[in-house]
Amino acid sequence: MPIFNGFNRLGLWTLYMKEVRRFFKVQTQTIWAPAMTTLLYLMIFTVAMGRGGREVLGVPFASFIAPGLIVMGMVSNAFANTSFNFLAGKIQGTIVDYLMPPLSNIELIIGLIGAAVTRAVLVGLAIALAMLLWPGVTLYVSHPWAIVYFGLVGSTLLAIIGLITSLWAEKFDHAAMVSNFVITPLTMLSGTFYVIHNLSPAFQAVSRVNPFFYVISGFRFGFLGQSDIGATNAAVFNGALYLGLLTLVMGWILYALLKSGWKLKS
């Protein structure tokens, strides 16, 4: 057996490709189905709330909600990808496939999260392509850095949370509970379909604690040049900093849990 004294690039690449091929084999379910579901959200909310030339932040309602729907699909699928990894291994008895290879905890985390973010990007591109064909939606690119940063960091954060969920859960119902009672409500109440200035001050304060709010608003800023967190790079930077620090903290927690073997090693 080869001995790896440094960074195991080959092992990392092998793990990454294994995870990518796993979700790509069922791409109809993992990539194209989320795009169709998001397009239905766009159709329903546009018909219900976007009639009469309604505008939000100076743009048509359909163009306002489109960026939020794209990144919502991205982060949801990043969570779905990693919340399955260790959980399926524990249930099926194949967890050894992750624990036995000569990979450090950091390499394991990078490989799994890298595959989840890859899926998120592919889902985002599929949704954006579908929305470009939808009448009334215009996707301008005002600040490319914000699109890249909030899309990737938001997906990474949700991938980390998904891995922590996969470590904690003992059955698929547990992962579904986190998705249904934590992830979905936070994404839906993050300003995807509205601006938080329409809320009462108390609920505005709650929204500003929600990390999904910064993912949605920052990503929207990249397209529209304005959002709930401001209309300048300086204003959006605070949200970017908060999101980045939270991702680092959650990443450290994940590393500590993996290193301790929590719910993985008897």
| pLDDT at position 44 | 85
CA separation (Å) from 231 to 83, 146, 150, 223, 244?
35, 12, 15, 11, 20
DSSP code for 139 = -
Query: What does the pLDDT read at residue 4?
Result: 55
pLDDT at 57: 82
234: left (phi over 0), alpha (psi -120 to 50) or beta: alpha
pLDDT computed for residue 2 by the predictor = 55
Residue 50, pLDDT score: 58
pLDDT score at 166:
94
pLDDT value of position 52: 58
Residue indicated by tokens 């163009």: 63
| 105 contacts 252 by C-beta, under 8 angstroms | no
| Helices of type H across the chain | 9-24, 27, 33-49, 61-82, 85-92, 96-99, 105-132, 144-168, 172-178, 184-188, 201-207, 211-224, 233-260
Q: For residue 266, what pLDDT is reported?
A: 55
Q: Is 96 exposed, middle or buried (0-12, 13-18, 19+ CB in 10 A)?
A: exposed
The segments of the chain whose pLDDT lies below 50 read 1
Global confidence as pTM: 0.92
Per-residue confidence (pLDDT) for residue 245, from 0 to 100: 97
